[in-house]
Amino acid sequence: MDNLDALKSEISDQVAAAADLDALEQARIAALGKKGRITEMMKGLGQMSPDERKTAGQALNALKSDINAAIEARKSELEGADIDARLAAERIDVTLPARPESTGAVHPISQTVEEVISIFGEMGFSVAEGPDMEEDWYNFTALNIPPDHPARQEHDTFYVNAEKDGQRMVLRTHTSPVQIRTMQVQKPPIRIIVPGRTYRCDHDATHSPMFHQVEGLLIDETTHMGHLKGCLNDFCRAFFGLGELPVRFRPSYFPFTEPSAEVDIGCSFEGGTLKIGDGDDWLEILGSGMVNPLVLENCGIDSTKYQGFAFGMGIERLAMLKYGIPDLRTFFDSDLRWLRHYGFASLDVPSLVGRASPTRNSP
């Protein structure tokens, strides 16, 4: 009991010298554990006289609390060092330049389809779909193209080695069969557009065996040719973003419309470059007409009560004209340089009331 000061400095030295939390715990056990040196001395208090015990007890308690305090202090020192070491080891250098990340682009076909949907969407049309592999009846016969009709020869059809209910199957040559499918299941008023893939056995700078069309169909009791003209006029001007774009309706023939008209937009070819909206030339962009009463009757719609118009256009052709893409085959080459050049940063669509043109991915 005489030498508590020496003991205190000895234990304090051990605590201070503990190099890590394990060593510190060992030092604590040696002093304050069940058989620790201070604990053993505490046990000796019982044999002392009351006076001695009082003095020695106070001294030992003071020693014990000093040592506990020293242990706590060393512990937080060691823990702090631990955190500092981890911080140093896990340090991230935020000044390093970011790794390059390649971003995708919206394909001009997707962009153009979205643009067309958005413009007709504003006019109240909704999107309808049908199968790519189609029954002969839907692709031709119901559209007033019977088996011996010359229009069949013009379609360069891919026939498929399959039959359904005795019907020869084809890869649809246009999106028009979806008119039939819609009119069979939906009562007028009908107002749909049909974007989708179409197929013809043809391959050159302006044709590809697979391409895209958008079909339009509007049926009700009162819609007439004036509405057809107004609707397609507005569409052409919104799509090309030219409020003054000249639009011409030229008499034509389609078996499924009567009368029929092809739609041309004004342009010039001066110096070999096409400029849309300028000059005295015309460029055909779509086919249209008043739905042939025979087609309505083929779908079970009373042609004495209902009437309306239809139209169809090629998506690639629209995209080529609007975005200056010279060769149709390149749409499907999957050449990344082409996609980066002609792709779009994000889907951004024009509107009937004239919103900004979409952003090209590269200038």
Least distance from ligand DAH to the Cβ atom of residue 176, Å: 4
**Do residues 100 and 132 lie in contact, with contact meaning Cβ atoms separated by under 8 Å?**
no
Least distance from ligand DAH to the Cβ atom of residue 240, Å: 20
How far, rounded to the nearest angstrom, does the alpha carbon of residue 252 sit from its chain's CA centroid?
40
Q: Which is nearer to ligand DAH, 101 or 204 (CB)?
A: 204
Q: Which residues bind ligand DAH (CB under 6 A)?
A: 174, 176, 215, 254, 257, 287-289, 310-312
Q: Which is nearer to ligand DAH, 111 or 176 (CB)?
A: 176
The residue type at 315: I
Angstrom distances, CA of residue 88 to CA of 17, 21, 23, 75, 81: 24, 19, 23, 20, 10
Angstrom distances, CA of residue 211 to CA of 110, 121, 341, 355: 12, 22, 21, 28
**Do residues 123 and 234 lie in contact, with contact meaning Cβ atoms separated by under 8 Å?**
yes
Q: Which is nearer to ligand DAH, 12 or 213 (CB)?
A: 213
Q: Which is nearer to ligand DAH, 240 or 311 (CB)?
A: 311
Least distance from ligand DAH to the Cβ atom of residue 96, Å: 56
Q: Which is nearer to ligand DAH, 56 or 151 (CB)?
A: 151
DSSP 8-state secondary structure symbol assigned to residue 99:
P
Sign of CA dihedral 58, 59, 64, 70: positive
Q: What's the rounded Cα separation, in Å, for the pair 215 and 195?
A: 6
The structure tokens 């049909």 sit at 194
Between helix 4-17 and helix 21-32 the angle, nearest 10°, is 160
Q: Which is nearer to ligand DAH, 152 or 174 (CB)?
A: 174
Q: What's the rounded Cα separation, in Å, for the pair 203 and 198?
A: 13
Least distance from ligand DAH to the Cβ atom of residue 220, Å: 16
**Do residues 258 and 292 lie in contact, with contact meaning Cβ atoms separated by under 8 Å?**
yes
Cis peptide, bond prior to residue 189, ω within 30 of zero:
yes
Cα radius of gyration rounded to whole Å, the chain: 43
Q: Which is nearer to ligand DAH, 24 or 219 (CB)?
A: 219
The residue type at 252: S
Least distance from ligand DAH to the Cβ atom of residue 334, Å: 25
Least distance from ligand DAH to the Cβ atom of residue 316, Å: 13
Least distance from ligand DAH to the Cβ atom of residue 211, Å: 10
Q: Which residues pair with 106 in a beta bridge?
A: 344
Q: Which is nearer to ligand DAH, 292 or 330 (CB)?
A: 292
Q: Which residues pair with 291 in a beta bridge?
A: 257
Tokens of 77: 């020192």
Least distance from ligand DAH to the Cβ atom of residue 117, Å: 16
